[in-house]
Structure 1
């Protein structure tokens, strides 16, 4: 059994921060679960271009507000507590923070190593060497 506390990730190399979000990567590739599990905060008033070409992601919004817009069709979806969205088609999208920090729980398949950040096209690499 694996038991972890997100508080133990704070201040480590698996708490990854950019200008638009902060991600605490709790379960990772090295845990052998076949997925990774993260707590992420999207900062208010920000916009992040994302296109996970190498991963599928499910996102459960648990606090705050925001919006996701799919680029292919321009559809916009309001985000708030209880909303779940899944990028089942590697959907290229904009993720926008609202007035309050948007706290979400994310699951990635295949799992992340914990060090990934988006490249200039909004993509996480297919495989990253786990330095831990």
Structure 2
């Protein structure tokens, strides 16, 4: 059994900071669950363009208000507590945070730990698992 507490993650190497976000990585590839799970903060007033070419992602919003737009010119959906979106086609998208968003993110395949977005807004393909 794996038991984690967010307070044990904050301030460690599993607390990864990007330009517009902060991803607290609760489960990683090395824990052999077949997915990774992150408690993620998106900073208020920011826009983040992403396209996970190597991963599928599901996101459940638990705090904040914002919107997600499918790029280049797809629909825009409001985001708020209770909203789930799943990027089931490696969708290129822009996440806009009106207020700070707190989200639970699940990745398949799981990330290994220190990934940050590349120039395309993607994480690199998984290689070596870390615990």
TM-score by length of 1: 0.95
Alignment-derived partner of residue 55 in structure 1: 55
Contact 1:116 1:128 in 2 (8 A): no
Kindly state the Cα deviation for residue 131 of structure 1 after the two structures are TM-superposed: 5.6
For the Cα contact (< 8 Å) 1:29–1:35, is it kept in 2? yes
In structure 2, the CA distance between the partners of 1:32 and 1:60, relative to structure 1 (3 Å rule), is same
Query: Distance in 2 between the 1:80 and 1:87 partners?
Result: 17
Partners of 1:73 and 1:47 in 2: how far apart?
16
Match of residue 97 from structure 2:
97
CA positional deviation for 1:129: 3.5
Runs of 4 or more, structure 1, over 4 Å off, are: none
**2: CA distance, partners of 1:128 / 1:63:** 32
Shift of 1:73: 3.8
Q: What TM-score do the two structures reach when normalised by structure 2?
A: 0.95
- How far apart, CA to CA, are the structure 2 residues paired with 1:15 and 1:66? 23
- Provide structure 2 residue ranges, at least 5 long, that are not aligned to the other structure: none
Q: Unaligned regions of 5+ residues in structure 1, if any?
A: none
Please tell me the root mean square deviation across aligned C-alpha atoms, in Å: 1.2
Cα contact 1:61–1:103 (8 A) shared by 2: yes
Task: State the number of aligned residues.
Answer: 131
Q: Take 1:96 and 1:16, find their aligned partners in 2: how far apart are those partners?
A: 20
**2: CA distance, partners of 1:82 / 1:131:** 31
2:115 is matched with which residue? Answer: 116
